[in-house]
Amino acid sequence: MNKIWHHPLVVAMSNLLLIMLFYTLQRLFFYYINTDIFTDISTTHLFEILLGGLRFDLTALLYLNSVYLVLLLLPFRFRSNSIYQQTAKWLFIVSNSIGIIINCADMVYFRFSDRRTTFRIFTEFQNEGNLLSILFSSIVQYWYVTVFAILIIALLVFLTRQKICTTDRRSNPLYYPTETLILLVCIYFTVIGIRGGFGKYTRPITISNAMQYADKPQETALVLNTPFTLMKSVENTPYRNPHYFPKEQLATIFTPIKEQKEQNKEGKSTNVVIFILESFSKEYIGFYNPDLQQNIETGFTPFLDSLLHYSATFRTSLASGRKSIDAMPSVLSSIPMLIEPYIVTPYSTNAVSSIAECLKNEGYQTAFFHGAPNGSMGFQAYARSAGFQKYYGMTEYLEQDYATNHDFDGTWAIWDEEFLKFYGITMSNMQEPFLTAVFTASSHHPFRVPLRYENRFSKGTLPIHQCIGYSDNALRQFFQYAKQQTWYDNTLFVFTADHTNRLKTEKYNNAKGLYEIPIAFYKPDNSLQGKKEIPFCQTDIMPTVLGYLGYDKAYFAFGNDKSHFLTTNKTDSLTNLNNYIVNYNHPLYQIFSDSLLLQFDGKDICAIYDYQADPMLKNNLKDSLLNDSSDCAPNKKEAQQMLLYLKAYIQQYISRMIENRLTTQTD
């Protein structure tokens, strides 16, 4: 019995079972510290997630421990050597400790990305020079995760089995045949485990398989583990044209080539200033939440609220994605985030157009501003490829006489107050008309404000809340300066956010609320007012601004021109296909009408919600709608129309990415 217990196969399997137990404990801890996000998971469903997660854990651990398994199962007597066994043990400990660390790190990063980390993270942050300081501050701020990781690794070191024994080949003539057979059988089952199942037609397990165990896309983060998502995303998987429609039919349903039919002569030569506000979720803004003010105090953006009351806003306004790098292409080039961020796809070198390129040809001066180190997040490269004439980053800021090194927040960028001052001064030296866009940075992890503002702004219930208050105050000071400038009255101000951040209320913790950001158009003469009923997305900003300015040439955009709504209070019916909006909630595509949300996985409809009647998205109408025998049912017709539009949208996006046709010149 003792020989069986110390057989290399039994020792290896014991250690693998141990690490699988630790991954389950990590999954439970992941759930525990994010229960405010996973609000609808019952005990039964949590158990289903835990069981489903074992499939992905097994695949990841077989990848991680393949060398270790070979070392233990090689049918040679030198396996009994103590140094050999010690080496194998520490290989097991080190490789699995790395897996534990990155798994635990994602417990924190999940709050900002809403998904498990993929290999794309190395591309996203390749230009960041401050990763060590960010990492250190995270280790301190999220100390409980750090302690948990240390405890798990300590248990791993203490409990990992090392001692093995083998049968003497002289007393057992079947030693080599038996041990060789064991090795071959283990190799076979390891391959099966890595693939994720048996069967001739079984496809290798992928990230999208996690939806099999999740009720919502967000829950896939609980099912998966980070070593698995990193390994499965190492290679760039090329997009594949879904061929939903023949090419000649496709453009009749949806096309990103836009022709201006009307010309708004009043908007000609108006300056355009676009604010992309870091992490400004709708939940933080009192204007959008009169019903939630008791829960989130009175909002954290009193100045922005004052502008929104005199702006054109939208009942439903959504981000395209959940990361900062999703925002620039969406807002400035009307290129959505589908499947993965455009900037890190293999197609990121495609020719693109932008609002800057369109207006540059109309005599506008164009510039993009971001207070982080030049090159950060790939923003400078994208601004240049999109046709902006000038880029102003930390380098340009620090060249100013009034700039000091203390203006840097120590982690990400120049503090918003100082950088928005620089933004205003620089615009005052530009020739009109001009188009500028600024991406703020201070409302970002690690959620600090300048020392002089400590305890000045409400700290609310989340670490980001006081940072939102600080950035809002920086906006106030910018406008105090701007109102004194000659260009102010002739300027269209556009406000949006890059994405949402951590959310507190049930109203926003769902597939719609996770993307709810402010989008507003403000003109100092108060000519643009009222909350509009149409849904609006980041990709609609570029075509809507061009429509408002009376741009009369063809341009490329996945969004739609909704400028005719800015100056009217019409509540047009959304039977018009051009009023739908699309975003991506990994791994599902989402399309919104004025009342319905339809989720689609590329093959089948997964869910349909009436988000006006059911704002928490509790009641999936898919079966009742699709099985309704009455073709006259309004919601059924609307869902069918939405699916048609969404399929054409996806096919246009993928085929044009593959074929490098993202401009009117390449069509």
544 CB neighbour count, 10 Å cutoff: 25
**In the prediction, which pLDDT does 575 show?**
44
Instruction: Name the residue ranges covered by the structural domains of the chain.
Output: 2-232, 268-568
Position 370 confidence tier, pLDDT thresholds 50, 70, 90:
very high
**In the prediction, which pLDDT does 201 show?**
36
Position 356 confidence tier, pLDDT thresholds 50, 70, 90:
very high
Position 172 confidence tier, pLDDT thresholds 50, 70, 90:
low
**In the prediction, which pLDDT does 213 show?**
80
- Regarding predicted confidence, which is higher, 581 or 106? 581
Q: What is the pLDDT of residues 427-452, one digit of tens each?
A: 999 999 999 999 999 998 888 999 89
Q: Is the pLDDT of residue 176 over 80?
A: no
Q: What residue type is 528 in one-letter code?
A: L
Position 548 confidence tier, pLDDT thresholds 50, 70, 90:
very high
Q: Sheet containing 581-585: which strands, arranged edge to edge? A: 581-585, 588-592, 596-600, 605-610
Query: What is the pLDDT of the chain when averaged over all its residues?
Result: 85
List of residues 6+ apart from 228 with CB closer than 8 A:
56, 57, 59, 60, 116, 207
Q: Environment class of residue 357 by beta-carbon count within 10 Å: exposed (0-12), middle (13-18) or buried (19+)? A: buried
**In the prediction, which pLDDT does 298 show?**
60
End-to-end CA distance of the chain: 73
Q: What percent of the chain has pLDDT over 90?
A: 48
Q: Is the pLDDT of residue 203 over 70?
A: no
Q: What is the pLDDT of residues 11-63, one digit of tens each?
A: 888 899 999 999 999 999 999 988 888 888 889 999 989 998 998 898 888 88
**In the prediction, which pLDDT does 347 show?**
74
Helices 43-64 and 8-33 cross at an angle (nearest 10°) of 130
Does domain 268-568 bear CATH number 3.40.720.10? yes
Position 574 confidence tier, pLDDT thresholds 50, 70, 90:
very low
Tell me how many degrees the CA angle 468-472-478 measures, rounded to the nearest 5.
145
pTM of the full predicted structure?
0.78
**In the prediction, which pLDDT does 277 show?**
96
Lowest mean pLDDT, pick from 106-120, 172-186, 243-257, 384-398: 172-186
Q: Is the pLDDT of residue 286 over 50?
A: yes
Q: Is the pLDDT of residue 478 over 90?
A: yes
Position 573 confidence tier, pLDDT thresholds 50, 70, 90:
very low
Residue 507, SS3 per DSSP: coil
- DSSP label of 205: P
**In the prediction, which pLDDT does 653 show?**
95
DSSP per residue over 521-556, as a string? EE-TT--S-EEEEEEEEGGGHHHHHHHHHT--S-EE
Q: Is the pLDDT of residue 408 over 60?
A: yes
CA-CA distance, 170 to 508, in Å (whole number)? 70
**In the prediction, which pLDDT does 2 show?**
58
Q: What is the pLDDT of residues 481-523, one digit of tens each?
A: 999 999 999 999 999 999 998 888 888 889 999 999 999 999 9
**In the prediction, which pLDDT does 538 show?**
97
Q: Is the pLDDT of residue 572 over 60?
A: no
DSSP per residue over 105-116, as a string? HHHHHHHHHSS-
**In the prediction, which pLDDT does 342 show?**
81
**In the prediction, which pLDDT does 292 show?**
64
**pLDDT, average across residues 87-99:** 91
CA-CA distance, 335 to 540, in Å (whole number)? 10
